[in-house]
Amino acid sequence: MDYHKIAVGACEKIEEAAEQFCVAGKPSECGRYGNGHINDTFLLCTKDGEQDHQYILQRMNTHVFKDPEGLMRNVSGVTTYLRDQIVKAGGDAQRETLTLVKTKAGKDYYVDSLGSWWRMYLFITDATGYDTVENEEDFYQSAKAFGHFQRLLDQYPVSLLTETIPDFHNTPKRFEAFCKAVDRDVCGRVGDVGREIAFVMDRKDEMSIVVDKLNSGEIPYRVTHNDTKLNNVLLDNQSRQAVCVIDLDTVMPGTAIFDFGDSIRFGANTAEEDEKNLNKVSLSLSLYEAYTKGFLEGCAGRLTDAEISLLPWGAKLMTLECGMRFLTDYLEGDKYFRIHRPEHNLDRARTQFALVADMERKWGEMKRLAEKRYL
């Protein structure tokens, strides 16, 4: 088994970890996989005689997720519940939801000798998570899948869910954390980002627009995904239909408006999340419309009028919030999001703010398209 192909440092104990799980046959290959910003993800291939098998092995990020045990309880509870529903609907549960692979000790995770937490999923074959939208139809399919995901969890008992990251999408609290990072300026970077800081400050009165409505009960808390990036849904390689919503670490009570908004932030941007040339950044209204249609279809009439009218705010606030989070991380020394170059988080923050500015220019149209009745 060739483990030295694997980047060292982050995952010294990968071999030890891989051996703990109940896989078919013997490991034959293992390498980094995907483009997530949080966990260390590996594709593990095994050989059982002539038969090849594939698994996703992940070292969980316990700096980000401080209660990994509660998180794994969530993932196990949610995937078991989804599996039942998929089976009842005559679907293929091994493809349409994540399946945890148990350890030889019968657990859902393994803590290695250095204290890192590991888990394993069956690899969903013949499907891809895209980092950019290749066509409108794909984006529409992803929207249907995220809407449908939320509908499937409509009756999931909220009391079973741990809040894996408290105040994850509490935009005013994210703003407070941002202000604190600016005040403390631990890396001495504030001087270089005056324009970006001013951009955020100019919008401080908007931060609580959605959270206030949740708190007042004008819009409902629902069991939501909370990280609805395009690469967190896998599309079938042949049919290009959505197969499975993945990355369930942030399934928690939240608002449908933010699940909608985070997808727009990532997928309806005409540029990549870390594009340096800001002239390439804009909101594609046709992608926005395709996603709105698919999401409302996936939710199958469950969204209230109040939620539908706030969808544009979901898009704007998720983009602003994510920009603040990237900039906060930049100011604090890049401790949260994985970066691949020195100013990566700053570049990411700038694209988010450029996208917010374009949404402001297109606000009237965004509102009109959200209110259009698609169902």
Q: Which residues bind ligand ADP (CB under 6 A)?
A: 33-34, 36-39, 41, 56, 98, 121, 123-124, 129, 231-232, 246-247, 249
CB of 364 to ligand ADP, least distance (A): 34
DSSP 253: E
Contacts 24+ apart (CB under 8 A), 205-208: 206/316, 206/317, 206/320, 207/171, 207/172, 207/174, 207/175, 207/317, 207/320, 208/171, 208/172
**One-letter amino acid identity for 211?**
V
Q: Which is nearer to Mg ion, 42 or 199 (CB)?
A: 42
CB of 119 to Mg ion, least distance (A): 14
CB of 247 to ligand GN1, least distance (A): 5
Question: What length is written for the chain?
Answer: 375
Sheet holding 51-59, edge to edge: 26-32, 40-48, 51-59, 117-122, 110-111
Question: Are the beta carbons of 51 and 150 closer than 8 angstroms?
Answer: no
Q: Which is nearer to Mg ion, 56 or 153 (CB)?
A: 56
CB of 64 to ligand GN1, least distance (A): 6
Rg from Cα positions in the chain: 21
Residue of 246, 254, 211, 253 whose CA lies nearest to 228: 246
Q: What is the DSSP string of 67-124?
A: -HHHHHHHHHHHHHHHHHHHHHTT--HHHHS--BPPBTTS-S-EE-TTS-EEEEEE--
Helix (H) or strand (E) holding 231: none
CB of 40 to ligand GN1, least distance (A): 11
Q: Which does 250 bind (CB under 5 to 8 A by kind): Mg ion, ligand ADP, ligand GN1, none?
A: ligand GN1
| Start-to-end CA span in the chain (Å) | 53
Query: Of 31-39, 59-67, 170-178, 271-279, which part binds Mg ion (CB under 5 A)?
Result: 31-39
Q: Which does 121 bind (CB under 5 to 8 A by kind): ligand ADP, ligand GN1, Mg ion, none?
A: ligand ADP
Residues linked to residue 236 through DSSP beta bridges, in sequence order: 127
Residue of 260, 261, 264 whose CA lies nearest to 297: 260
Helix (H) or strand (E) holding 28: strand 26-32
Q: Which does 322 bind (CB under 5 to 8 A by kind): Mg ion, ligand ADP, ligand GN1, none?
A: ligand GN1
**Of residues 185-244, which lie at the interface with Mg ion (CB under 5 A)?**
232
Q: Which is nearer to Mg ion, 103 or 232 (CB)?
A: 232
Residue 267 interacting with Mg ion (CB under 5 A): no
Q: What is the rounded CA–CA span in Å between residue 266 and residue 271?
A: 9
Q: Which is nearer to ligand GN1, 64 or 290 (CB)?
A: 64
Contacts with Mg ion by CB under 5 A: the residue count is: 3
Q: Report the residue closest to ligand GN1, judged by CB.
A: 37
Q: Which does 56 bind (CB under 5 to 8 A by kind): ligand ADP, Mg ion, ligand GN1, none?
A: ligand ADP
CB of 22 to ligand GN1, least distance (A): 26
CB of 294 to Mg ion, least distance (A): 20
Q: Which is nearer to ligand GN1, 20 or 265 (CB)?
A: 265
Q: Which is nearer to ligand GN1, 141 or 250 (CB)?
A: 250
Q: What is the rounded CA–CA span in Å between residue 195 and residue 193?
A: 6
Q: Which does 299 bind (CB under 5 to 8 A by kind): ligand ADP, ligand GN1, Mg ion, none?
A: none
Residues that bind ligand GN1 (CB under 6 A): 36-38, 64, 227, 229, 232, 247, 249-250, 262, 273, 322
Q: Which is nearer to ligand GN1, 67 or 297 (CB)?
A: 67
Instruction: By CB under 5 A, name the binding residues for Mg ion.
Output: 36, 232, 247
